[in-house]
Chains A and B, each alone.
Chain A
């Protein structure tokens, strides 16, 4: 039985991934590699869609397959000359110290202010309207939601400062 879901991304995944997996297999790659590159491409597609910068010249499926192929070639270091879609930076290894510091900060923020992080995600990553955010998080209106957004940013900034002080 085929499961039914409301999320259009699920249908896009279902109809695109097997073709991409076949392509990767032909090029000598594994299922895990195919999945990782496909997820990178899906992330690019979703982020660009949310930011309103997605420029589709063909179908979402064709965009996804093309982007996933570039991502896969990048991971194989075969695609140094291929460019990723505008605005997307391929993952580059961070300095171990920076990565560790960011991980610690994020852990601490998730413990102390999960609601704030969710609100900030909705504003800056999902690009939701302040009216939508007010409704979702239970604020009186867009003004209260905006004030809360800045209070949350202030909270994150303070956490960063405290962590830096302890690190010194």
Chain B
């Protein structure tokens, strides 16, 4: 794997706390040596935040779709209608 992709894999290990204690210390030492790696770590943290946002939106859309489908079942729709009458 390309060395920059290896670095991405290492940042993932750092963000998801998958490093051993020793590896974690080594990585943090590298982090403290310059801004370039720290910037990449922050961008990757943000990338994971966006992936989560995207995924949750998709999952919420799926759940909303299930609700709409169930509303087409007369028995289900009738139950809700009688509750909120």
A interface residues (Cβ-Cβ under 8 A, vs B) = 1-3, 5, 7, 9-10, 13-14, 17-18, 21-22, 25, 30-31, 35, 39, 42-43, 46-47, 102, 105-106, 109-110, 117, 120-121, 124-126, 146-147, 150-151, 153-154, 156-157, 160-161
Instruction: Check if B58 is an interface residue, CB within 8 A of chain A.
Output: yes
Residue A35 contacts which of B46, B48, B67 (CB distance < 8 angstroms)? B67
Dominant secondary structure of chain A at its interface with chain B: helix
Question: How many contacts A-B (CB < 8 Å)?
Answer: 108
Dominant secondary structure of chain B at its interface with chain A: helix
- 30 example contacts (A-B, Cβ-Cβ < 8 A) are as follows A1-B74, A2-B75, A3-B70, A3-B72, A3-B73, A5-B69, A13-B66, A13-B70, A14-B70, A17-B80, A18-B76, A21-B84, A25-B84, A31-B84, A35-B67, A43-B56, A43-B60, A102-B53, A105-B46, A109-B50, A109-B54, A124-B52, A125-B59, A147-B5, A150-B1, A154-B5, A157-B44, A160-B43, A160-B50, A161-B43
- Given A22-B83, A125-B52, A157-B47, A46 and B59 touching (CB < 8 A)? yes
Q: How far apart sit A1 and B70, CA to CA, in the bound complex (Å)? A: 11
Q: Are B63 and A31 in contact (CB under 8 A)?
A: no
Q: Are A117 and B70 in contact (CB under 8 A)?
A: no
B interface residues (Cβ-Cβ under 8 A, vs A) = 1, 4-5, 8-9, 12, 40, 43-44, 46-56, 58-60, 63-64, 66-67, 69-70, 72-76, 79-80, 83-84
Q: Which B residues touch A46, using CB under 8 A?
A: 59
Q: Are B47 and A153 in contact (CB under 8 A)?
A: yes
